[in-house]
């Protein structure tokens, strides 16, 4: 056995130990078959241009193609792949063994993991829009000994093989909508796992097909390179102040000068007056806020900021990589940094503008309401576009190009 082989194995074992521990920290349990697959697949053979250490970093994607400055393809981060495979295995009745799987977005690594999970009686097809990526995935799969994965080069917005249906479709590229082809290729009660952007925030949703609709079973925080081809939907960032940006989605338009001018005015802070333990996960709260503070006259947006803008106090966001914010009646309000005391924290909102005190208070009331409801998680329904309002489940409706999404919250 070569020295390299020994290091590959020990690095891989350490990476998987780390992933199992990270799952436990998040209150998740890694399924044994997912753990076994992660221990079996030699990830470094799918990242030949990266060093061994880089190949086995649990928290990092390895970028495999850029166009200009933009990363357009990668071998996804192990923590994210592990969580999405867990979502998939939890959602497909009876587990993944013997199942037929379509992966959208190829890197080779995840397809190899899926091959391990479905076993000889199942099948894996992986599709990518980019011939460089499919050529690379084909070569890496062969080098790692996975020669029974079907690799297809095409835009996955269209059906891959209209005569086939899949028990699981796992999308490994950031989507803005659910094209008809995805639900159409799912077996009845099949599962679609997809990183989907709603209100400017992306979550990996596990959605089960129930007749004409998809209904979510779980969701996780995630980030991916965006879809290309017919399903591309650019996310727009506007600069509102030095180092402060707004992420706009769903065809939104906002005058950056108005928000910049508001940010230069004094702010008002409100607190929810709650005491929460460290590690309380607030990702569901952000979707709750999005669903509560959209509507006529209100523009829900996501605020992002560079560290300098936070250090100099231009903004004090809850999370500088994406904080819920709203522009309403000439007042700008966002979820602010946590206030810690005795190892517990409180939730707050900051507002600028003529109605600042009331706007900040309204936002913290929504936060209290989420906590009072038992910190519920969102449930997402995906229905085909054209379904009349009266046939939609109750909830916040978000219309996309091919689908109507309904976001609702059930008590924890
Ligand atoms: C994050 S990478 C996939 C990672 C991979 N599953 C792995 O094993 O780590 C995302 C891929 O999605 C592909 N992609 C983007 N738009 C696509 C589309 N419309 N149809 C198929 N593939 C697409 C990109 O070319 C890119 O290679």
pLDDT exceeds cutoff 70 at 310? yes
The CA-CA-CA angle for residues 398, 261, 311, to 5°, reads 90
Mean pLDDT of 116-126: 98
pLDDT in tens, 26-75: 999 999 999 999 999 999 999 999 999 999 999 999 999 999 988 999 99
Question: Active-site residue 163, yes or no?
Answer: no
Q: Please give the distance, rounded to the nearest whole angstrom, from the Cα atom of residue 202 to the centre of ligand 1.
A: 16
pLDDT in tens, 167-180: 999 999 999 999 99
In the block, residue with structure tokens 């600069």:
239
The CA-CA-CA angle for residues 180, 161, 172, to 5°, reads 60
Q: How confident is the model at residue 344 (pLDDT cuts 50, 70, 90)?
A: very high
Q: Is the CB of residue 94 less than 8 Å from the CB of residue 28?
A: no
Q: Which two tokens stand for residue 149?
A: 């994965």
Q: Please give the distance, rounded to the nearest whole angstrom, from the Cα atom of residue 343 to the centre of ligand 1.
A: 41
Length of the chain: 412
Residue 112, CA distances (Å) to 81, 101, 183 in order? 12, 12, 24
The residue ranges of DSSP E strands in 31-178, in sequence order, are 62-67, 70-75, 100-104, 123-128, 149-153, 166-171
**Within 6 Å (CB) of ligand 1, which residues are found?**
72-76, 103-110, 127-130, 133, 155-157, 172-173, 224-225, 227-229, 231
Average pLDDT, the chain: 95
pLDDT in tens, 200-248: 999 999 999 999 999 999 999 999 999 999 999 878 899 999 999 999 8
Mean pLDDT of 110-132: 98
Closest residue to atom 13 of ligand 1, CA basis: 105
pLDDT exceeds cutoff 80 at 5? no
Mean pLDDT of 151-172: 97
Cβ burial of 65 (10 Å; 0-12, 13-18, 19+) is: middle
pLDDT exceeds cutoff 50 at 120? yes
Atom of ligand 1 minimally distant from the CA of 127: 21
Percent of the chain with pLDDT over 90: 90
pLDDT in tens, 184-196: 999 999 999 999 9
What is the per-residue pLDDT for 1?
Answer: 45
Which listed residue (73, 74, 76, 106) is catalytic?
76
Q: Please give the distance, rounded to the nearest whole angstrom, from the Cα atom of residue 369 to the centre of ligand 1.
A: 39
Round to whole Å and give the CA distance between 140 and 126: 13
Class assignment of domain 3-231?
alpha beta
Ligand 1 pocket test: pick from 45, 128, 131, 230 the residue with the most ligand atoms within 8 Å of its Cβ: 128
Beta-bridged to residue 301, according to DSSP, are 325
Range in 124-133, 146-155, 295-304 with the lowest mean pLDDT: 295-304
Residue 32's CB: how many other CB atoms inside 10 A? 9
Mean pLDDT of 125-131: 98
Round to whole Å and give the CA distance between 378 and 364: 19
What is the per-residue pLDDT for 279?
Answer: 86
């Amino acid at each position: 056995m070569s020295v390299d082989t020994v290091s590959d194995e020990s690095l891989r074992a350490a990476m998987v130990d780390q992933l199992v521990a990270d799952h436990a920290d998040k209150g998740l349990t890694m399924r044994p078959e997912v753990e076994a697959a992660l221990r079996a697949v030699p990830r470094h053979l799918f990242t030949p241009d990266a060093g061994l250490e880089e190949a086995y970093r649990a928290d990092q994607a390895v970028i495999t193609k850029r166009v200009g400055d933009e990363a357009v393809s990668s071998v996804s981060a192990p923590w994210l792949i592990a969580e999405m495979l867990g979502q998939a295995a939890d959602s497909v009745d009876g587990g993944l063994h013997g199942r037929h799987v379509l992966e959208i977005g190829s890197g080779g690594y995840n397809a190899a993991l899926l091959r391990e999970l479905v076993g000889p009686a199942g099948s894996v097809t992986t599709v990518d829009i980019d011939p460089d990526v499919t050529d690379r995935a084909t070569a890496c799969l062969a080098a790692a000994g996975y020669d029974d994965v079907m690799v297809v080069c095409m835009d996955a917005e269209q059906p891959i093989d209209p005569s086939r249906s899949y028990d699981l479709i796992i999308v490994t590229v950031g989507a803005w909508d659910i094209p008809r082809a995805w639900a159409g290729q799912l077996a009845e009660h099949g599962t679609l796992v997809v990183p989907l952007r709603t209100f400017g925030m992306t979550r990996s949703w596990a959605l089960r097909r129930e007749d004409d609709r998809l209904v979510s079973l779980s969701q996780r925080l995630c980030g991916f390179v965006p879809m290309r081809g017919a399903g591309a939907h650019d996310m727009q960032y506007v600069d509102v102040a030095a180092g402060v940006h707004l992420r706009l989605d769903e065809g939104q338009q906002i005058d950056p000068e108005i928000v910049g001018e508001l940010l230069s005015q004094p702010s008002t802070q409100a607190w929810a007056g709650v005491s929460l333990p460290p590690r309380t996960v607030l990702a569901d709260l952000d979707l709750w806020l999005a669903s509560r503070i959209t509507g006529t006259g209100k523009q829900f947006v996501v605020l992002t900021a560079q560290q300098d803008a936070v250090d100099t106090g231009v903004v004090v966001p809850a999370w500088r990589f994406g904080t819920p914010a709203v522009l309403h009646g000439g007042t700008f309000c966002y979820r602010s940094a946590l206030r810690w005391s005795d190892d517990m924290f409180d939730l707050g909102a900051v507002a600028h503008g003529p109605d600042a005190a009331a706007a900040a208070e309204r936002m913290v009331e929504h936060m209290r309401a989420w906590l009072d409801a038992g910190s519920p998680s969102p449930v997402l329904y995906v229905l085909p576009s054209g379904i009349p309002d009266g046939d939609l489940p109750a909830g916040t409706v978000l219309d996309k190009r091919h689908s109507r999404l309904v976001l609702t919250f059930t008590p924890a």
